[in-house]
């Protein structure tokens, strides 16, 4: 490896790439589940179509998902190993926990394609929910790993405003392609986009919460942190863990409304603090 390449591949960039790759894997996993492609392998897992090579479109999607999962797993492991060369204990802890959850995620993933569901023509709701929860946990840990590194570089407080703006825009986008917004068919592609946008919102909320702790308006991190729980609940309901009745749709919409309101409130409070005449307060957000 040339010196220029070694200089270009830094740990912050490697961790950020791993996080982005994990986001893509979650989207692909949702698409795979939504198309029912995993069922092509349910009778002979880990094989599909009675062989190693895909012979149908569903088995190709399942095998491609496994390939991306394998590559992502190695990147997550590499991030954890590299983190142990870092001085920050929190970075090492987050990256190591992400690796520790990988065997659990793989095991649950195997169950989701071998166990017929409690829902009609679907997978088991408990295993499907557990698979998503572990995936979100791994993603959140990787986001925190990346944030830990960028925090070491002293991120400008203006990044808080950027993170809040990204979070709000991503929540709006996720609602648009979710089951709450009935004018858009909740197709497998829409489901993947829904989780992609929701994960971007989650990452932005984690960033805002982390960076707010280093500003003079650090108390606002409780507002942004409170938006994570309803966002997470809305994402769970998007996986059809319960029958999606009109009441459930209303509850799902309420979760996203709570998350968006919290982000908007934090944004407005941050702007008000910026205009405050108290010394140091305006500069903390600029």
Range of the domain at 119: 1-148
d(CA 168, CA 265): 11
The residue out of 84, 114, 148 marking a domain boundary is 148
The helix or strand, by DSSP H or E, that contains position 152, with its residue range, turns out to be: helix 125-152
52 pLDDT above the threshold of 90: no
User: In Å, what is the CA distance from 51 to each residue of 46, 56, 67, 116?
Assistant: 9, 11, 16, 21
pLDDT classification of 164: cutoffs 50, 70, 90: very high
122 pLDDT above the threshold of 50: no
207/118 same-domain check: no
Average pLDDT over residues 104-115: 78
d(CA 187, CA 4): 44
> Which region holds residue 141: left if phi is over 0, alpha if psi is between -120 and 50, else beta?
alpha
Domain count, the chain: 2
**Window from 3-17, 72-86, 97-111 with minimum mean pLDDT:** 3-17
Q: Is there a contact between 178 and 158 (Cβ–Cβ < 8 Å)? A: no
96/214 same-domain check: no
What was the pLDDT predicted at 129?
82
Q: Select the highest-mean-pLDDT range: 58-67, 175-184, 251-260.
A: 251-260
d(CA 137, CA 140): 5
34/140 same-domain check: yes
Average pLDDT over residues 35-63: 77
166/269 same-domain check: yes
Q: How many residues does the chain have?
A: 286
143/171 same-domain check: no
191/277 same-domain check: yes
126/20 same-domain check: yes
What was the pLDDT predicted at 6?
60
Q: Which residues of 18-38 are buried (b: 16+ CB within 10 A; e: fewer)?
A: bbebbbebbbbbbbbbbbbbb
3/135 same-domain check: yes
What was the pLDDT predicted at 118?
46
pLDDT classification of 56: cutoffs 50, 70, 90: confident
Q: Where are the beta strands (DSSP E) in the chain?
A: none
Express each pLDDT in 165-177 by its tens digit: 999 999 999 999 9
The pair of structure tokens assigned to 30 is 């949702």
Cβ neighbour number for residue 49 with a 10 Å cutoff: 18
User: In Å, what is the CA distance from 74 to each residue of 18, 106, 225?
Assistant: 9, 13, 30
d(CA 90, CA 155): 17
CATH assignment at residue 210: 1.20.120
122/244 same-domain check: no
User: In Å, what is the CA distance from 231 to each residue of 17, 138, 206, 210?
Assistant: 24, 16, 12, 17
110 pLDDT above the threshold of 90: no
What was the pLDDT predicted at 284?
46
197/95 same-domain check: no
Express each pLDDT in 203-238 by its tens digit: 999 999 888 887 778 888 899 999 999 999 999 888
The residue out of 148, 182, 216 marking a domain boundary is 148
The residue out of 148, 181, 205 marking a domain boundary is 148
d(CA 106, CA 199): 20
Calculate the average pLDDT of the chain: 83
Express each pLDDT in 240-273 by its tens digit: 777 888 899 999 999 999 999 999 998 888 777 6
The DSSP code for 67 is H
> Which region holds residue 240: left if phi is over 0, alpha if psi is between -120 and 50, else beta?
left
Q: Is the model more confident about 279 or about 224?
A: 224
10/141 same-domain check: yes
What was the pLDDT predicted at 121?
44
The pair of structure tokens assigned to 191 is 């489901």
Q: Is the model more confident about 277 or about 183?
A: 183
d(CA 239, CA 127): 11
Average pLDDT over residues 107-115: 74
112/81 same-domain check: yes
The pair of structure tokens assigned to 184 is 């858009």
Name residue 51's beta-bridge partners. Answer: 48
**Window from 39-43, 78-82, 280-284 with minimum mean pLDDT:** 280-284
């Amino acid at each position: 490896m040339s010196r220029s390449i070694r200089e270009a591949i830094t740990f912050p960039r490697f961790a950020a790439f791993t996080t982005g790759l994990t986001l893509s894997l979650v989207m692909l996993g949702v698409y795979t589940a939504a198309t029912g492609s995993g069922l092509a392998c349910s009778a002979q897992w880990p094989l599909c179509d009675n062989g190693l090579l895909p012979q149908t479109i569903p088995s190709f999607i399942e095998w491609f998902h496994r390939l991306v999962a394998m590559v992502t797993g190695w990147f997550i492991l590499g991030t954890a190993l590299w983190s142990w060369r870092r001085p920050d204990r929190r970075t090492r802890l987050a990256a190591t926990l992400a690796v520790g959850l990988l065997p659990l995620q793989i095991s649950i993933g195997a169950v989701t394609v071998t166990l017929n569901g409690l829902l009609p023509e679907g997978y088991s709701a408990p295993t499907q929910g557990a698979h998503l929860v572990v995936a979100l946990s791994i993603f959140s840990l990787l986001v925190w790993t990346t944030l830990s590194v960028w925090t070491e570089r002293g991120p400008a407080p203006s990044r808080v405003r950027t993170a809040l703006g990204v979070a709000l825009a991503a929540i709006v986008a996720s609602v648009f392609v979710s089951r709450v917004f009935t004018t858009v068919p909740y197709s497998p592609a829409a489901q993947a986009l829904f989780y992609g946008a929701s994960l971007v919102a989650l990452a932005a909320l984690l960033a805002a919460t982390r960076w707010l702790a280093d500003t003079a308006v650090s108390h606002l991190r409780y507002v942004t942190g409170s938006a994570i729980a309803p966002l997470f609940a809305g994402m769970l309901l998007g996986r059809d863990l319960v029958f999606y009745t009109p009441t459930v749709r209303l509850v799902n919409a309420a979760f996203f409304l709570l998350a968006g309101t919290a982000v908007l409130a934090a944004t407005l409070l941050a702007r008000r603090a910026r205009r405050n005449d108290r010394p140091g307060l305006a500069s903390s957000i600029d």
